[in-house]
Structures are given as C-alpha cells and as structure tokens.
Amino acid sequence: MPDSIHPPKSSKAWGGVFREPTDKRVEAFSQSVSFDKRLANDDIDGSIAHARMLAVCGIISAEEASQIVTGLEEIRSEIARGEFEFTAAKEDIHLHIESALTARLGDTGRKLHTARSRNDQVATDLRLHCRHAIDRLDSGLHEVQRAFLDFAQREPGLVIPGYTHLRRAQPVLAAHQLLAWCEKFQRDRQRLADCRSRTNILPLGSGALAGTSLPIDREHVRHALDFESVAANSLDAASDRDFVCELAFVLSLTAVHLSQWAEEWILWSTEEFGFLRLPERFCTGSSIMPQKINPDVLELVRGKSARMIGNVQALLVLLKGLPTAYNRDLQEDKEAIFDSIDTLEAMLGVTAPLVAGTKFDHARVAATLERGHLDATSLMEALIAAGVPQRTAHEAVGHLVRRAMTRGVSLAELSDEEFGREYANWKSSFRSALGASRAVERMVSFGSTAPVQVADQLAVWQHRLNAP
Ligand code: ARG
C-alpha cells in the first residue's frame, strides 16, 4: 500500500473533514504564531526526541528519523537567521515547523506527528520553555544576591537607622539591612527550584487526551529531554497548566521583593533621607526641570511588578472554568507567562549593576544617626538585665525619652541626676547602652544586627553564593 492513499488537498493540518475554507477573520483571530514562535527551539527539541523514539520503537524507520532530525535542524537555523516565513494561515509554531518539514521531506515529514497531538506537544514545549526560563532567572537572582553581598562587604561597620512604620526604631548595620534582601531572594530561588520540579514532568505521549494505540516509549523521550518523570494521566497532562500559574506567582513574588527594595532606595536616595547615592548612569532627567536626577529605573522596577501580579490573576481566571483536558482557551496562557518571564529578566538585569554602583553617604547618615532615640530599647534592656521588670523599665525609659524630646536632646545628653529621678538605682555604667553604635554592639541573639552575628552571616553568604 502506498504511503499516501489520498494526496492531501487541504492547506490545513486538520482540513480533511471541512467543506469550506477557514474564514480569514478566524485565522487572524485564532492564530498564536505571532507570540508562540518563541517556542520554536523547544518545539524542535521535542520533535527531535519524539522522532528518534518513533524510530527506536519501530514506528518509523531509522532513515526517516534521521531525515526528520536533519530537516528540523535546518528549520531551526532558518528561524534563527530570520529567514523563516510566518503566516496566520498556519495558526501556530507547531504547524509552521511541521509544514516546513513536510515541504522538505514529503511523506517522511508527514510522519512526524505520529502518536502525538498538538495538545501534548504544546504542553511539552511550554514546560521546556519554562524550565529554561527558571534556570536563567535563577542565575539572574544569584547575580543580584552577589551585588547585595558585595555592597554589604564594602560597608561592614556602617550603622544606619532601622525603621518600623517608617519611623526610626533601632539602629542596625547597613550590612544587615542589605543581607535582608539576600534572604528574600534566596526564598525566591527556593520557590523557583520547587516550581521547576513540578514543571519538569513530561506530557508528550498523552496524545490529544487519551494516549495512543501505537507502541511508543515515553521513558525514552523523558530521558532525551531531561525530564524528571513522565506524566501518569493523559487527560490531566495535556491540559495541566498549574506549573504556569505557579511560575507566574513565584515571579510576581520576586517582583514584589524587587518593588519593595526599589521603594526603599527611592526614599533613601531623596534629599530628605540622603542615605544613598545612586549611580547617575542609572538615573534619568526631566525635560523641563534642569536640576532633576530622577530614580526612574527604581520606579519602573516598582511599576513593572504590577503587570506581573496581573498576570497571575489572568492565568487563574483562565483556568477556573475549564472542564477536563485541552480547551483552546489554554492558548491564552502564553502571553501572560512570557510577559512575566521577560519583565522579571529585565528587572534583574538592571538591579545588579544599579546595586553595584550605589554608595552610602556616610556623612549624611552620621549627621542624623543620634536623632529619634534609636537607643531607647537598648537602655530599656540594660535596666531589664539589672533586674527591672520589662513593663517598669519600658515606662521609665518612656519618661526619659519624653524628657529628652522636650529638651531637644539625645538620651545620652541627659544628666545622671535626670536618669536617677526615673530609676533610683541608676549608675553611670548604664550609659554603655546609649548611642547607636553601642546599641548595635550589645545585640547578642542569633540573627540579630550585632557585628559578630552579621560577620558570621556575611561569611555564610559568601560561601553560599560562591558554591557552584
Ligand atoms: N496553539 C495551540 C495552543 O497554544 C496549540 C494547541 C492547539 N490544539 C488544538 N487542538 N487546537 O494551545
């Protein structure tokens, strides 16, 4: 029997049953190639693994598989060179590549889609694509952590005001504050790794929804594409987009961290705070006010996080009404997740060099460090250590702060006599709890801002970020 019993007449991969051609408006409306062409490499990787497996299983010949692989590699180069033609009439990247292969190989090309549907194909492509993105974003985050660690290492002893409610609270080491960002980004990286393991499951071989009657070897494809496991339920596997939602969320939480950081540094670099000097090459100016040096990069990092949060919503709402197995709605998953990946990649790309070029203004920090009674808690704890109940010590120091506020002085500027009026057993040795630097040095708890604790953490991060 000849390979082609009926020479194909339709230009569509699915045209056989139709009695009229597709309306042009439908082609324009339903095409995805304008955005899913970025899956081209993943699609070709998946098809090569699939074709080789078909040959190993005796479903196509080794010669056919080798022609398919060569043809697909040629198509890959053509796309990379920008010479490949995309058209709405061919719907999506999967059909484009398959039809280009068939144009080259005839019936051999027409065999590639054996034991496969676009449903398990697109799910496979998207998983490969997200997996690669996860790996790139993880190294982007690593770079950013490195930049924060380097900054912390450049400022091992600098004491700055710590804030709660955006009010001066207790003094902290600048290095401690910088390492706080490393912690957040580490959790982001852990979430990425966790999401990667649920992304890295092979759907190919699920067919449209029910599997296939042809004797395929899914384990062979799993191994070739470096997936961790093979999806066990064809109905679920062809339509599962949990990994897309999960990745969009992980990326949006990372973006939220970057947005918080951007907000903090916008504030800290104002004339009013004056703690930080941003690199001018990472600032932009005003077209009307000649003096302006604006933190637009930080503002855009903060601003772009909004769209990424929106993408999580869009994906969840996309999925909520879908019955089991593939529905065409799922095509709408791509623009949202691609946008989140691109946006975060761009944010990480400017964050690391901006951090590397930023400096503390030591004079400005020092000029106001003793304002705001940052050492009040330190004094209270010194009294507690001498046996005063916490609530009593809190109240006594509260009175002392009120007195200092009224006189417009720091706690250290009060006299022993004034201290003695609030606390009968006052000794001038309690003064060792006063002053921002001393307050920082007196911390002892693990994870605190004490210089020894922070030095330990700097060493931990140095080791962690240098490890391969
Ligand atoms: N372009 C489609 C998507 O992105 C590919 C799968 C189409 N499957 C189908 N049966 N129409 O979801």
CA of 121 to the centre of ligand 1 (A): 9
- Using the predicted structure, report yes or no on whether residue 35 has a pLDDT greater than 50: yes
Write phi, then psi, for 2 (nearest 5 degrees).
-65, 155
Which pLDDT band holds residue 13 (cuts at 50, 70, 90)?
A: confident
Mutating to test ligand 1, I would choose from 37, 97, 119 the residue with most ligand atoms within 8 A of its C-beta, which is 119
Looking at the chain, the domain(s) classified CATH 1.10.40.30 span 370-466
Ligand 1 mean position, distance from CA 322 (Å): 15
**Cα-based distances in Å from 280 to 16, 155, 277:** 63, 21, 9
Question: In a mutational test of the pocket of ligand 1, which residue from 92, 113, 121, 209 has the highest number of ligand atoms less than 8 Å from its CB?
Answer: 92
From the candidates 165, 213, 428, 463, give the one annotated as an active-site residue: 165
pLDDT confidence tier of residue 9, bands split at 50, 70 and 90: low
pLDDT digits (tens, 9 = 90+) for 162-186: 999 999 999 999 999 999 999 999 9
Residue nearest to atom 7 of ligand 1 (CA): 118
* β pairing state of 159-164 and 167-173: antiparallel
Which CA distances in Å does 188 have to 140, 199, 253, 316? 11, 16, 7, 20
Q: How far is CA 270 from the centre of its chain?
A: 28
Nearest CA, atom 12, ligand 1: 331
* Distance from Cα 432 to the centre of ligand 1, integer Å: 71
pLDDT computed for residue 12 by the predictor: 83
Mean per-residue pLDDT of the chain: 96
* Cα-to-centroid distance, 28 and ligand 1 (Å): 15
Contacts by 218-224 with C-beta closer than 8 Å and gap 24+?
A: 220/49, 220/52, 220/53, 220/56, 220/57, 221/49, 221/50, 221/53, 224/48, 224/49, 224/52, 224/53
pLDDT of 4 above 60? no
165 classed as catalytic: yes
Largest CA distance in the chain: 110
Closest CA to 437 of 416, 426, 447, 451: 451
Ligand 1: atom nearest CA of 93 is 1
Task: Report the predicted TM-score, pTM, of the whole model to 2 decimal places.
Answer: 0.95
d(CA 43, CA 48): 9
Residue 234 is among the residues annotated as catalytic for this protein: no
The pLDDT value recorded for residue 2 is 44
Give the pLDDT confidence score for residue 7 in this predicted structure.
Answer: 53
- The CA distances from residue 334 to 130, 191, 238, 339, in Å, are 10, 21, 15, 8
Q: List where CATH 1.20.200.10 sits in the chain.
A: 119-214+232-367
* For the chain, percent of residues with pLDDT exceeding 70: 98
Q: How would CATH label the architecture of 119-214+232-367?
A: Up-down Bundle (1.20)
User: What are 467's two structure tokens?
Assistant: 């490890």
Predicted local confidence at residue 16, as pLDDT: 87
Return the pLDDT at 47. 98
Residues 331, 236: Cα–Cα separation, whole Å? 16
Question: Which of 10, 11, 77, 286 does the annotation list as catalytic?
Answer: 286
> Is the pLDDT score of 303 beyond 60?
yes
What does the pLDDT read at residue 178? Answer: 98
Find how far residue 166's CA is from the centre of its chain.
Answer: 27
pLDDT at residue 116 tops 50:
yes
pLDDT tens by residue, 400-459: 999 999 999 999 999 999 999 999 999 999 999 999 999 999 999 999 999 999 999 999
The closest alpha carbon to 149, from 180, 126, 171, belongs to 180
CATH fold of 15-114 reads Fumarase C; Chain B, domain 1 (1.10.275)
384 CB-contact burial (10 Å; exposed 0-12 / middle 13-18 / buried 19+): middle
Task: Provide the token pair at 199.
Answer: 């992304």
Range(s) of the chain covered by CATH 1.10.275.10 = 15-114
pLDDT-based confidence at 11, cuts 50/70/90? confident
- The dihedral of CA 468, 461, 340, 295: what is its sign? negative
Q: How far is the CA of 394 from the centre of ligand 1 (A)?
A: 66
Which residue from 130, 239, 331 has its CB within 8 A of the most atoms of ligand 1, so it is best to mutate? 331
Ligand 1 closest atom vs CA 334: 4
pLDDT of residue 468: 59
* Residues having CB within 6 Å of any atom of ligand 1: 32, 36, 92, 118-119, 122, 326, 328, 330-331
CA of 193 to the centre of ligand 1 (A): 28
**Annotation: CATH topology of 370-466:** Ribonucleotide Reductase Protein R1; domain 1 (1.10.40)
